[in-house]
């Protein structure tokens, strides 16, 4: 065997070069794959688009992990997503540490009560807060929701009660709703308000997203319930979800692919909340459940007719989508789709008239923009005073991203503005 040390050294160098090239190529491919995964085209006016892309990619990754674990029978998809949320929320440092907390039961429902320190005998204002997360996700006592409640308690010098209602997949509609009603009725009892030194004429109910849905439904219920003498003075609904009959409102059409609440995800949350078959998601997305052959719809359609309830400037060029024929069984199989406790937008005017003064926050880049705007209009037509604060750069969930380590300027502004409104009107 001939062995030339020079040739051997050359070969080694060649191999080394080859490995380096391979590594570079691989890194480049990986970078392209990551960028491709993260990059999504976003409207120019949305708040901090790159941050949102990274947040969205993370969220999509978690949802995908949940789906994989679910299909392998390891865990329910919702539990996987929720444990990721809990891990993430645990990173958020606790703010306003002077606020005292108490975890207790209100009529069997878990709540946390936040109270500012010092009590000079004068009565305080109060806010009942109901967190969002598609009736399935969210950790009210951790991270961003905890920070939000502490901030409300501190800035408003108010007692804040956050409802830790049970969620899907453990429970479905109407349990989430009933637990919020129970907690509200308990809190509004005169002796309970006295215990916390709360002025019964200055109590608000507030919620974001699915929590805005529950807050609106609770506000309707308390407004019409003649067994509760104390009523809410105000309701604050932050990008609330209010109906599941039209997944093709102008905002659903415009924002169906805008993170982080994609139309498909919202339809899935609804089906999970109502305990229905997730396979129906596509039928819902094309409004097959409310097609023109649904006789039931003729009575209801006007309550969510966005062509008349919304201003022209937000409708733009969008047209209603109602197929001529659809899937007749869906509304019969899932009657909760028509239940005002699940879909407060469907309430009658006589119910709306009894509802408290409202602040409704909406975002331009949110599938739920029109749910909120239609409700604002219907409340107004029923004679309720409404402030609709609309953010041109707002996206769904931004209020939960007003806190370190993940904040967006629109989230910070939105939190400040709604608390300022409460400070003025509560």
Residue among 297, 283, 291, 298 nearest 322 (CA): 291
CB of 284 to ligand NAG, least distance (A): 9
| Contact stretch for ligand NAG (CB under 6 A) within 194-202, 229-237, 282-290, 349-357 | 282-290
Cα gap 401→14, rounded to integer Å: 51
229 contacts ligand NAG (rule: CB under 6 A) = no
Radius of gyration of the chain (CA): 25
- Across the strands, what pairs with 358? 235, 386
CB of 423 to ligand NAG, least distance (A): 34
Q: Cis (ω within 30 of 0) for the bond into 70?
A: no
Among 11, 12, 17, 282, binds ligand NAG (CB under 6 A): 282
Biggest CA pair distance of the chain: 103
Of the two residues 288 and 362, which places its CB atom closer to ligand NAG in the complex? 288
CB of 401 to ligand NAG, least distance (A): 34
Q: Which two tokens stand for residue 63?
A: 């949802």
Of the two residues 194 and 325, which places its CB atom closer to ligand NAG in the complex? 325
Instruction: Please tell me whether residue 158 adopts helix, strand or coil conformation.
Output: strand
CB of 294 to ligand NAG, least distance (A): 11
| Contact stretch for ligand NAG (CB under 6 A) within 24-32, 248-256, 280-288, 343-351 | 280-288
Of the two residues 17 and 282, which places its CB atom closer to ligand NAG in the complex? 282
Distances in Å between the Cα of 268 and the Cα atoms of 38, 69, 104, 277 are 22, 17, 32, 9
Query: Site residues for ligand NAG, window 296-355 (CB under 6 A)?
Result: 325-327
> Total residues contacting ligand NAG (rule CB under 6 A)?
8
CB of 291 to ligand NAG, least distance (A): 7
Each residue 182-221 as x (binds ligand NAG by CB under 6 A) or -, in order, gives ----------------------------------------
C-alpha 231: how far from chain center: 25
CB of 326 to ligand NAG, least distance (A): 5
CA torsion sign for 418, 131, 61, 343 is: negative
Q: What is the 3-state secondary structure (H, E, C) of 24-77?
A: HHHHHHHHHHHHHHHCCCCCCCCCCHHHHHHHHHHHHHHHHHHHHHHHCCCCCH
- Across the strands, what pairs with 127? 160, 204
The neighbour count for residue 312, using CB atoms within 10 Å, is 7
Among 47, 151, 243, 283, binds ligand NAG (CB under 6 A): 283
Of the two residues 288 and 340, which places its CB atom closer to ligand NAG in the complex? 288
Distances in Å between the Cα of 336 and the Cα atoms of 94, 131, 256, 353 are 38, 21, 24, 23
Among 3, 4, 97, 226, binds ligand NAG (CB under 6 A): 226
Active-site residue set: 209, 366, 396
Contact 234, 204 (CB under 8 A): yes
Of the two residues 119 and 325, which places its CB atom closer to ligand NAG in the complex? 325
DSSP secondary structure letter of residue 339: -
Each residue 36-75 as x (binds ligand NAG by CB under 6 A) or -, in order, gives ----------------------------------------
Of the two residues 165 and 247, which places its CB atom closer to ligand NAG in the complex? 247
CA distance between the termini of the chain: 94
Of the two residues 96 and 224, which places its CB atom closer to ligand NAG in the complex? 224
Judged by the rule CB under 6 A, the positions of this chain that interact with ligand NAG are 224, 226, 282-283, 288, 325-327
């Amino acid at each position: 065997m001939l062995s030339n040390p020079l040739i051997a050294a050359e070969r080694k160098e060649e191999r080394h070069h080859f490995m380096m090239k391979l590594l570079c190529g691989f890194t480049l491919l990986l970078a392209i794959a990551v960028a491709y995964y993260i990059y999504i085209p976003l409207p120019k006016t949305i708040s901090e688009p790159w941050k949102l892309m990274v947040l969205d990619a993370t969220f999509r990754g978690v949802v995908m992990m949940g789906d994989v674990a679910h299909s392998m029978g390891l865990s329910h998809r919702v539990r996987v997503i929720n444990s990721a949320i809990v891990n993430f929320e645990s990173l958020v440092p606790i703010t306003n540490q002077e606020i005292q907390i108490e975890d207790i039961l209100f009529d069997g429902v878990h709540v946390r009560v936040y109270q500012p320190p010092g009590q000079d005998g004068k009565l305080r204002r109060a806010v009942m807060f109901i967190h969002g997360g598609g009736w399935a996700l969210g950790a009210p006592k951790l991270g961003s929701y905890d920070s939000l409640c502490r901030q409300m308690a501190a800035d408003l010098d108010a007692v804040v009660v956050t409802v830790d209602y049970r969620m899907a997949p453990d429970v479905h509609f109407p349990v989430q709703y009933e637990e919020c009603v129970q907690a509200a009725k308990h809190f509004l009892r005169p002796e309970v308000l006295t215990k916390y030194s709360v002025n019964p004429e200055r109590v608000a109910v507030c919620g974001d997203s699915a929590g805005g849905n529950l807050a609106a439904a609770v506000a309707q219920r308390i407004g019409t319930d003649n067994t509760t003498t104390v009523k809410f003075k105000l309701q604050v609904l932050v990008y609330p979800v209010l109906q599941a009959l039209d997944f093709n409102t102008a905002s659903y059409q415009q924002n169906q692919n805008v993170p982080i609440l994609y139309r498909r995800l919202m339809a899935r949350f609804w089906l999970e909340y109502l305990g229905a078959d997730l396979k129906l998601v596509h039928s819902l997305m094309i409004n097959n459940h409310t097609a023109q052959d649904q006789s039931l719809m003729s009575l209801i359609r006007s309550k969510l007719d966005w062509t008349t309830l919304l201003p022209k400037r937000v409708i733009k060029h969008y047209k209603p989508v109602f197929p001529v024929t659809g899937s007749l069984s869906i509304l019969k199989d899932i009657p909760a789709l028509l239940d005002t406790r699940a879909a407060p937008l469907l309430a009658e005017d006589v119910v709306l008239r009894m509802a408290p003064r409202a602040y409704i926050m909406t975002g331009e880049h949110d599938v739920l923009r029109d749910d909120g705007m239609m409700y604002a209009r219907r409340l107004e037509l029923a004679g309720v005073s409404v402030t609709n604060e609309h953010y041109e750069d707002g996206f769904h969930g931004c209020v939960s991203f007003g806190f370190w380590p993940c904040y967006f300027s629109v989230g910070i502004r939105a939190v400040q503005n709604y608390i300022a409104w409460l400070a003025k009107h509560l």
